[in-house]
Structure 1
């Protein structure tokens, strides 16, 4: 087992342990952090011309945003939940555009939007 494989395995186990012990609030934070990480990695892959990796990472970011979207309670969440639902839908469409056109601007836009949502989420006291 080389050092990178060992590091990835440790990170996976560490992330899994954090998720098991996390509050629902922290789980949403972790999803958002993971989404931001995948977006940054996708941008790097795009810059390096790693098209397959870029597509895989954008796909993971789309999956994370889908998870955030699925976690919304549109019945009880009112206007805020509806607005987040629309925003997440917009983010996914921009990520698809970034992947198809192979341009970084939509990745940057979605990362900025997700950071804004995360900062609001982080400000919520538990």
Structure 2
């Protein structure tokens, strides 16, 4: 598949996804970006490190910004703290060129991604069976 074909597929995937599915896609992109940033650090490739850390930071920052702190209560507060941790560790990894700093954020985002994927699957199941 060409880059254009991949881009079109991804655009279609986002355009047809539910809100929860979009969150899962954002987590996928953040996790992949952190993995690529870690590879950049390990290869001493400052351009890839900066590009992919920047992408991950932008995604996590946006996830944090859209939290509804009033309606979300304790869950929103906990997510905000986790996002702050991820952003802090990404900044430290960048400043100190330390790939190990990304291990915690990767585990955190992967765990959150799985939780949201479960919510998405359960929501799709309920719509399918009419529950």
Task: Give TM-score scaled by structure 1 length.
Answer: 0.91
CA offset digits 1:28-78 (Å, max 9, x no partner): 000000001101111111111111210111010000101211221111001
TM-align CA RMSD:
1.2
Trace 1:1-126 onto structure 2 (pairs within 5 A).
7-124=2-119, 125-126=122-123
**In structure 2, distance between residues paired with 1:7 and 1:94:** 35
**In structure 2, distance between residues paired with 1:118 and 1:90:** 16
Structure 2 unmatched runs, 5+: 124-131
Deviates more, 1:106-115 or 1:24-33: 106-115
Q: Which one has a larger percent helix, Structure 1 or Structure 2?
A: 2
**In structure 1, distance between residues paired with 2:57 and 2:3:** 22
CA offset digits 1:55-110 (Å, max 9, x no partner): 11101000010121122111100100111011101110100000010001111110
Task: Give TM-score scaled by structure 2 length.
Answer: 0.87
| Residue 8 (structure 1) shift | 2.4
**In structure 2, distance between residues paired with 1:36 and 1:7:** 23
**In structure 1, distance between residues paired with 2:88 and 2:3:** 30
